C-alpha cells in the first residue's frame, strides 16, 4: 500500500508571455524581414507557447551592423568600470526575476522546475556577477605589459539544454571585455533568451550592444558566415561544430567550440558506494541527460558490478518522472520530438546489439515527450550506445579490473569534455585524474560548476574555455 504519497506541488507562477516575439536588434523589437514565424512549444504537453520570429540573412546582417555600430560608437570606448555597472545591473535583474525565468525555462525546455530554480537561473546570474567584477581588472588577465583589447562583434550560438545559462556563459565575458554580441538561441528554447533581451532593454544598455536573433540552423549559418563578425562562440553538437570549423578555415575569425561528450564515470570497489550511486544518478539523469558533460559511460570495477546494478535499479524506481513544473519532479520532459526519436533510436540499437536494458517502472504521461530513466548492462565498447552521445537519460555500464584498464577505457573515445572518479583513496583519485584526457574531472562528486572555474573540452569536445580567467582569454585580442 502506498503511504505518504506526495501530492502535486506545481509552481503556480505564470509569467507573461507575448503572443508573438520579434527580433531584438539595435535596442528595439523588430519584425523579421521575411515576416516568417515559427512556434515554440511546451515539450511536456505539446501546447504552443508563442510565435517566434524567423531571422533571415537580412535580419542577421542588420543585427551584426547594429553590433558593429554599438561597438565602435559606445561599448569599446566606455570606461571599463561603467561596463561593469551595466553587467551588474543585468545580474541583479536576473536574480530579481529568477522565479519567472525559471518557469519560462521549464515550460519551454522541459527541465524540472527544481533544476531551473536552483541551478540554471542562479548560476546564470552568478556568471554575470562574476564577469562584471573582471571588467575593470583585465590588465591582470594577460601577461604583464600586454594591453587588453576587445575583439569586436561576437556571434554566439547557444544550445537548448541550458538556454539562459549558456547565454550567460557567453554574453557575460564578452561584454566584460568590451565586445558586442549577436546571440542566437536554440530553435526549441528561445523564451529565456528573449526574456534576457527584455531585461537588457530595461537595464538600458546602449542599443546594439546585445542583439538576439531567433531562428534555426540556417540563421546560425548566416551569422557564422557574416563577414563582419570577429569571433564565433558555439555550443552544440560536434557535427555542427566541425562544419563551423571547416567554414571558418582561412578566415581570421576567432572560434571557440563547446561540443558533445561521452564522459567516463569511473567507480572503484573502494568508493563510498551510496554516494557514488547518487553521483552516477546526478551525472546521467540531471536535466534528462541533456548535458554535454553527462557521465554517460559508467565504468565500474568488475567485483562491484552486480552490487551497483542492484542499487541503481532500486534507485531508478524512486526518481519521480512527470510534470516539469511540479517541484518534486526529478525527470522532466525530453526537449523535443526530434530528440526523443534520437534517444529511442539509439536505445533500440543498444537492445539489438545485445545489451540489457533496465528502466524505471511506471507509465509515462499521455502527452508530451518523455523517456524513462534507463541504463544498459552487458555493454561492449564497440556498441553504439558506448560510443555515441545519446543526450538522454540513458547510461551505459561497462566494467574494468585494474586502474590502468579504467584509464584506457575512459580515454577510448573521440570526446573529452568531462570525467568522474569515485574512490576512497586519495592517491588513486589524483593519479587517475592526471591520466584522463578530459577538460574537467570530478573526484567523488559530479556536475559541480562555478563561474570561477573554466569549462571546456579536449579533442572532439571542442576547444577554448568558458568560465574563470580562462574564459576571458577567448574574448581578448592577445
Partner 1 sequence: MGLLAPSVSVDAVMLEARAAALGKRSIKTSAKLEGITLAIRCTDLTTLEGKDSEGRVRSLCAKALRPRPGWPNVPSVAAVCVYPNLVSVAKDALRGSSVAVASVATAFPSGLSNIEVKLADTAAAIASGADEIDMVIDRGAFLAGREQAVFDEIVQVKHLCGNVHLKVILETGELGTYDNIRRASDLALEAGADFIKTSTGKVGTNATPPTALVMCEALRDFARRTGERRGLKVAGGVRTTKDALAYLVIVKETLGDGWLDPKYFRIGASSLLDDLLMQLEKEQTGHYAGSDYIPKD
Rounded to a whole number of angstroms, the minimum distance from the CB of residue 275 to partner 1 is 4
Closer residue to partner 1, CB minimum distance, 91 or 276 = 276
Given the complex with partner 1, which of 201 and 278 has the nearer CB atom? 278
Q: Using the rule CB under 8 A, which residue among 34, 272, 414, 452 binds partner 1?
A: 272
Task: Pick from 270, 306, 404, 450 the residue near partner 1 by CB under 8 A.
Answer: 270
Distance, in Å, from the CA atom of 404 to the CA atom of 370, rounded to the nearest integer, reads 38
Cα 343 from Cα 332, distance rounded (Å): 15
313 makes contact with partner 1 (CB under 8 A): no
Min separation Cβ 355 and partner 1, Å: 26
366 binds partner 1 (CB under 8 A): no
Which of 16, 77, 145, 318 is in the footprint of partner 1 by CB under 8 A? 318
Which one, 3 or 16, has the nearer CB to partner 1? Answer: 3
Q: What character string, x for contact with partner 1 (CB under 8 A) and - otherwise, covers 322-341?
A: -----xx-------------
Choose among 54, 15, 8: nearest CA to 32. 54
Q: Is 450 in the site for partner 1 (CB under 8 A)?
A: no
Contact between 78 and partner 1 per CB under 8 A: no
| Count of residues that interact with partner 1, criterion CB under 8 A | 27
- Which of 11, 105, 187, 292 does the annotation list as catalytic? 292
Of residues 476, 417, 474, 472, the one with CA closest to residue 127: 472
Q: Which of 251, 275, 402, 412 binds partner 1 (CB under 8 A)?
A: 275
**CB under 8 A: which stretch of 6-14, 58-66, 91-99, 177-185 binds partner 1?**
6-14
Is residue 16 a contact residue for partner 1 (CB under 8 A)? Answer: no
Tally the C-alpha atoms within 13 A of residue 197's C-alpha that lie toward its C-beta: 27
* x/- map, 164-183, partner 1, by CB under 8 A: --------------------
Q: Which stretch binds partner 1 (CB under 8 A): 53-61, 240-248, 273-281, 470-478?
A: 273-281
* Min separation Cβ 230 and partner 1, Å: 41
The alpha carbon dihedral of 469, 470, 471, 477 has a sign of positive
> Residue 12 Cβ, how far from partner 1 at the closest point, in Å?
11
User: Which CB atom, from 73 or from 327, has the smaller least distance to partner 1?
Assistant: 327
Q: Tell me, yes or no, if 292 is annotated catalytic.
A: yes
Which residues between 279 and 308 bind partner 1 (CB under 8 A)? 279
CA–CA separation, 356 and 292 (whole Å): 24
Identify whether the C-beta of residue 191 lies closer than 8 Å to the C-beta of residue 17. Answer: yes
Q: Which of 5, 19, 35, 252 binds partner 1 (CB under 8 A)?
A: 5
- Active site residue: 115, 187, 258, 389, which one? 258
Q: Does residue number 4 form part of the binding site for partner 1 (CB under 8 A)?
A: yes
CB closer to partner 1, 4 vs 77: 4
Closest separation in Å from C-beta 380 to partner 1: 29
User: Does the protein bind partner 1 through residue 278 (CB under 8 A)?
Assistant: yes
Fill in the per-residue mask, 426 to 445: x = in contact with partner 1 (CB under 8 A), - = not in contact: ------------------xx
Can residue 273 be called a binding residue for partner 1 (CB under 8 A)? yes
Does 110 contact partner 1 by CB under 8 A? no
User: Shortest approach of partner 1 to residue 316 CB, angstroms?
Assistant: 12
**Mind spelling out the 3-state secondary structure of the chain?**
CCCCCCCCCECCCCCCCCCEECEEECCEEECCCCCCEEEEEECCCCEEEEEEECCCHHHHHHHHHHHHHHHHHHHCCCCHHHHHHHHHHHHHHHHHCHHHHHHHHHHHHCCCHHHHHHHHHHHHHHHHHHHHHHCCCHHHCCCCCCCCEECCEEEEECCCCCHHHHHHHHHHHHHHCCCEEEEECCCCCCHHHHHHHHHHHHCCCCCCCEEECCCCHHHHHHHHHCCCCCEEEEECCHHHHHHHHHHHCCCCCEEEEECCCCCEEEECCCCCHHHHHHHHHHHHHHHHHCCCCCCCEEEEEHHHHHHHHHHHHHHHCCCCECCCCECCCCECCCCCHHHHHHHHHHHHHHHHCCCEEEECCCCCCCCCCCCCCEEEECCCCCCHHHHCCCCCCEEEEEEECCHHHHHHHHHCCCCCCEEEEECCCHHHHHHHHHHCCCCEEEECCCCCCCCCCCECCCHHHEECCECHHHHHHCCEEC
Measured from the CB atom, is 270 or 341 closer to partner 1? 270
By CB under 8 A, tell whether 9 contacts partner 1: yes
Q: Strand 264-267 and strand 418-422: pairing? A: parallel
Among 3, 144, 249, 366, binds partner 1 (CB under 8 A): 3
The residue within the footprint of partner 1, chosen from 142, 424, 449, 469 (CB under 8 A), is 424
Q: Are strands 418-422 and 23-25 parallel, antiparallel or unpaired?
A: unpaired
Residues that bind partner 1 (CB under 8 A): 1-9, 114, 118, 270-276, 278-279, 310, 318, 327-328, 424, 444-445
* Residues tagged active-site: 258, 292
Amino acid at each position: 500500500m502506498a503511504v505518504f504519497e506526495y501530492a502535486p506541488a506545481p509552481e503556480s507562477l505564470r509569467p507573461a508571455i507575448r503572443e508573438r516575439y520579434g527580433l531584438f536588434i539595435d535596442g528595439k523589437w523588430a519584425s523579421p524581414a521575411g515576416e516568417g514565424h515559427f512556434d515554440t512549444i511546451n515539450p511536456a504537453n505539446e501546447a504552443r507557447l508563442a510565435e517566434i520570429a524567423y531571422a533571415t540573412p537580412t535580419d542577421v546582417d542588420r543585427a551584426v551592423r547594429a553590433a558593429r555600430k554599438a561597438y565602435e560608437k559606445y561599448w569599446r570606448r566606455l570606461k571599463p568600470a561603467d561596463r561593469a555597472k551595466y553587467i551588474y545591473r543585468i545580474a541583479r535583474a536576473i536574480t530579481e526575476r529568477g522565479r519567472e525565468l525559471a518557469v519560462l525555462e521549464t515550460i519551454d525546455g522541459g527541465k524540472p522546475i527544481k533544476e531551473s530554480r536552483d541551478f540554471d537561473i542562479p548560476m546564470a546570474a552568478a556568471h554575470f556577477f562574476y564577469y562584471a567584477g573582471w571588467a575593470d581588472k583585465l590588465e591582470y588577465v594577460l601577461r604583464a605589459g600586454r594591453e587588453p583589447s576587445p575583439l569586436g562583434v561576437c556571434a554566439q550560438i547557444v544550445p537548448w539544454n541550458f538556454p539562459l545559462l549558456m547565454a550567460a556563459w557567453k554574453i557575460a565575458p564578452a561584454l566584460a571585455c568590451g565586445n558586442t554580441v549577436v546571440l542566437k538561441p536554440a530553435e526549441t528554447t528561445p523564451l529565456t533568451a528573449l526574456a534576457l533581451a527584455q531585461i537588457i532593454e530595461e537595464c538600458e544598455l546602449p542599443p546594439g550592444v546585445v542583439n538576439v536573433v531567433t531562428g534555426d540552423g540556417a540563421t546560425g549559418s548566416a551569422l557564422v558566415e557574416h563577414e563582419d563578425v570577429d569571433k564565433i562562440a558555439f555550443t552544440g553538437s560536434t557535427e555542427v561544430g566541425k562544419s563551423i570549423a571547416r567554414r571558418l578555415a582561412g578566415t581570421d575569425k576567432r572560434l571557440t567550440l563547446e561540443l558533445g561528450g561521452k564522459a567516463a564515470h569511473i567507480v572503484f570497489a573502494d568508493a563510498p558506494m551510496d554516494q557514488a550511486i547518487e553521483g552516477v544518478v546526478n551525472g546521467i539523469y540531471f536535466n534528462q541527460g541533456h548535458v554535454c558533460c553527462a557521465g554517460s559511460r559508467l565504468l565500474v570495477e568488475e567485483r562491484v558490478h552486480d552490487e551497483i546494478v542492484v542499487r541503481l535499479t532500486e534507485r531508478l524506481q524512486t526518481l519521480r518522472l512527470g510534470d516539469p513544473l511540479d517541484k518534486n519532479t526529478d525527470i522532466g520532459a525530453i526537449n523535443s520530438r526530434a530528440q526523443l526519436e534520437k534517444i529511442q533510436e539509439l536505445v533500440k540499437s543498444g537492445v539489438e546489439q545485445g545489451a540489457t536494458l533496465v528502466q524505471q517502472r511506471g507509465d509515462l504521461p499521455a502527452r508530451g515527450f518523455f523517456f524513462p530513466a534507463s541504463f544498459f548492462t552487458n555493454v561492449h565498447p564497440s556498441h553504439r550506445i558506448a560510443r555515441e552521445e545519446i543526450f538522454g537519460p540513458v547510461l551505459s555500464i561497462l566494467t574494468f579490473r585494474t586502474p590502468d584498464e579504467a584509464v584506457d577505457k575512459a580515454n577510448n573515445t573521440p570526446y573529452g569534455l568531462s570525467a568522474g572518479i569515485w574512490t576512497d583513496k586519495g592517491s588513486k583519485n589524483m593519479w587517475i585524474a592526471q591520466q584522463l584526457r578530459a577538460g574537467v574531472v570530478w573526484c567523488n562528486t559530479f556536475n559541480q560548476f562555478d563561474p570561477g572555474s573554466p569549462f571546456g573540452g579536449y579533442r572532439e569536445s571542442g576547444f577554448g574555455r568558458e568560465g574563470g580567467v580562462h574564459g576571458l582569454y577567448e574574448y581578448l585580442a592577445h
